[in-house]
A = this chain, B = another copy of it.
Amino acid sequence: MENNIKIPKTRNGRATFNLIVDTTIDLFYKKGYFKTKIKDITDSAGIAAGTFYLYFPNKLSLYKYILMQFQHDIRRTIAESVSNVKGRFEKEKEGIKTFIQYSLDNPHAYNIIWESLYIDKKLFIDYYDGFAKRYERGLNPSIKDGEMHDVDTELVSYILMGVANFIGLKVLLDLGKNNDDIDEVVEQVMSIIKTGIFKD
């Protein structure tokens, strides 16, 4: 496996590995990456200092692992939720709802993902570039099928990621009004995107 992480093979090892990961997610969320020391992680997890190094060569490798897990988890959660939905527009609506619900269920996700910008800008770039490229691949067939206008799918993927992220932030941080009912917020947002904002 890349990133020099040792995934344990035994059940006990996996339990310890997961304990380290969960403890670190919690600490990264509360204190941020830079203020979290490996000693804080092992102290909070109640394990010996050396145990950390059985699995992770350093804090950065653990951060990268957590970032990759979030990415997989978000993609898989969205893919599952839209798999039985028919039509590109309805799929996008369901996808954005799922993304926002995911952010509420995992409030540390935003923090930890965006912190990559400060830890190693390349991680941030890879994260969003990777997300956009997969998004594009999903959108392209919808143009052929006549469900979407013949638009630049790269730009559309950034537009929709921007909308999902900022509406998600609004709900997550409770900015402005009407953040209680995610379904209703996303219905309205998608209706605005469908009808358009500006008159001719």
Contact = CB atoms under 8 A, between A and B. Distances in A.
A162 interface: yes
Q: How many copies does the complex hold?
A: 2
Interface stretch (A5-13, A18-26, A46-54, A167-175): A167-175
B114 A188 contact: no
Chain A interface, DSSP helix/strand/loop, else mixed: helix
Interface in A142-200: 146-149, 151-152, 154-156, 158-167, 169-170, 173, 175-178, 185, 188-189, 192-199
A166 B167 contact: no
Contacts of A124: 173
Contacts of A185: 155
B117 A188 contact: no
Interface stretch (A55-63, A75-83, A125-133): A125-133
B192 A194 contact: no
Contacts of A175: 125, 128-129, 132, 158
Contacts of A189: 155, 159
A166 B170 contact: no
